[in-house]
């Protein structure tokens, strides 16, 4: 599918090679560092962060709107795993979107059955509807919004809740964190842009997919916001940031595993400590790229748990469900208290 897309921010395909059990893809080599490592290594200026997101938004638009040869319909390719570690930056200021390994095009019948049984992606950047198996272009836009918030604040956020009421609290926390970061900047132009960035994120992180802008709109609006911002820009920042990462800075000594989830497959690990409390204590320095997963969707008919009165997923240990439910109730209580404090302040 990548061979059908031409965009400067999408990693290029050089050739296909036969392997013992199939075919392998030879991709272009990108000498640089992923955005996740750059965030850990130091502050990302707002101008540089917006340029990165603008480039990725352009790549997502190109992937979704690319035309299929010999057909009237578009490719409508959805990446499904947008996160900082899948965005690579070079010292020359180039941005490349990587890892289309779980991407899906609407014409691809091979994926249709698979996607009906599994949720694919990284839970830290997963839109609420994707947890229910609903794949949309706006799901990529949602994940890109969280990447922008992460880059602007160097804070890690909890997993987006699936329930709309809980998501409203989550969104408020993200927006407040971004607003505090930009409003305290020494540059007046950055402080002035805080409202525009916050409003853009409000739309990108909307609970309903239909309320989010498409990637082309995001690209255009970011370009407009950037015009009033001061240097440093991507080219100057990336040269320093990539050098720092390649020299060994910003790479954590300890890699902590992902916990609190029932997964079928997982790869990699969390980059920083797991934190579940809301703003302000939860937002710790650094970035978190949770592992890419293939999580089975909940079956249509759940089993009732006679000991608790709640419905549980078959195959999940009852104790696990109780622990997860208790944690959810505790987290909701903490979020409510902190929200009242913030509103009172």
How many CB atoms sit inside 10 A of residue 16's CB? Answer: 11
Q: DSSP states of 37-56 as a string?
A: HHHHHS---HHHHHHHHHHH
Cα distances (angstroms) measured from residue 288 to each of 11, 59, 120, 274, 277: 23, 23, 18, 9, 15
Per-residue pLDDT of 83-139, as tens digits, reads 999 999 999 999 999 988 788 887 654 444 444 456 778 899 999 999 888 999 999
Any idea which of 57-61, 191-195, 276-280 has the lowest mean pLDDT? 276-280
Distance CA 193, CA 339 (A): 25
DSSP state, 266? E
Catalytic residues: 81
DSSP state, 264? S
The SS3 call for residue 340 is helix
Asked whether the CA dihedral 306, 311, 312, 314 is positive or negative, the reply is: positive
pLDDT at 317: 37
Q: Nearest 5°: CA angle at 167, between 172 and 274?
A: 85
pLDDT interval class at 1 (50, 70, 90):
low
pLDDT at 23: 75
Per-residue pLDDT of 192-225, as tens digits, reads 999 999 999 999 999 999 999 999 999 999 999 9
pLDDT surpassing 60 at residue 321: no
All structural domains of the chain with their residue ranges:
2-247
Distance CA 210, CA 221 (A): 18
pLDDT interval class at 25 (50, 70, 90):
confident
Query: Among residues 321, 299, 296, 323, which one has the least CA distance to residue 310?
Result: 321
pLDDT interval class at 15 (50, 70, 90):
confident
Tokens of 7: 């965009």
Q: Residue with structure tokens 């990693």?
A: 11
Distance CA 230, CA 237 (A): 12
Any idea which of 6-15, 161-170, 295-304 has the lowest mean pLDDT? 295-304
Q: Nearest 5°: CA angle at 193, between 146 and 341?
A: 65
Count helices and strands in the chain by DSSP H and E runs: 9, 12
Model-level pTM?
0.74
Mean pLDDT of 311-325: 35
The SS3 call for residue 218 is helix
How many CB atoms sit inside 10 A of residue 277's CB? Answer: 15
Specify the CATH superfamily of domain 2-247: Transferase(Phosphotransferase) domain 1 (1.10.510.10)
Any idea which of 65-74, 175-184, 317-326 has the lowest mean pLDDT? 317-326
């Amino acid at each position: 599918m990548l061979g059908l897309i031409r965009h400067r921010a999408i990693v290029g395909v050089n050739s296909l090679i036969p392997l013992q059990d199939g075919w392998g893809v030879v991709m272009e080599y990108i000498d640089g560092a992923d955005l996740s490592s750059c965030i850990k290594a130091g502050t990302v200026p707002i101008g540089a962060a917006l340029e990165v997101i603008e480039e990725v938004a352009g790549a997502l638009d190109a992937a979704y709107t690319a035309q299929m040869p010999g057909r009237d319909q578009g490719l409508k390719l959805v990446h499904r795993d947008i996160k900082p570690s899948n965005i690579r930056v070079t010292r020359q200021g180039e941005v490349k979107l990587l890892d289309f390994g779980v991407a899906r095009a609407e014409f691809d019948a091979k994926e249709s059955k698979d996607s009906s049984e599994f949720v694919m992606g990284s839970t830290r950047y997963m839109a609420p509807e994707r947890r229910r198996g609903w794949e949309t272009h706006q799901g990529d836009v949602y994940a890109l919004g969280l990447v922008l918030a992460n880059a602007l604040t160097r804070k890690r956020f909890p997993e987006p809740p699936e329930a709309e009421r809980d998501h409203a609290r989550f969104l408020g926390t993200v927006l407040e964190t971004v607003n505090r970061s930009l409003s305290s900047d020494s540059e007046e132009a950055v402080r002035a842009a805080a409202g525009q960035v916050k409003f853009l994120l409000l739309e990108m992180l909307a609970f309903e997919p239909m309320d989010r802008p498409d990637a082309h709109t995001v690209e255009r609006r970011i370009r407009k916001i950037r015009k009033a911002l001061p240097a440093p820009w991507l080219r100057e920042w990336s040269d320093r940031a990539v050098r720092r990462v390649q020299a060994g800075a910003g790479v954590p000594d300890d890699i902590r595993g992902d916990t609190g989830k029932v997964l079928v497959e997982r790869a990699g690990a969390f980059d920083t400590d797991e934190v579940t409390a809301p703003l302000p204590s939860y937002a710790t320095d650094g970035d978190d790229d949770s592992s890419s997963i293939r999580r089975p969707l909940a079956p249509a008919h759940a089993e009732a748990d006679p000991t608790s009165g709640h419905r549980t997923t078959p195959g999940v240990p009852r104790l696990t469900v109780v622990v997860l439910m208790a944690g959810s109730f505790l987290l909701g209580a903490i979020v409510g208290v902190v929200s009242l404090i913030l509103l009172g302040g």
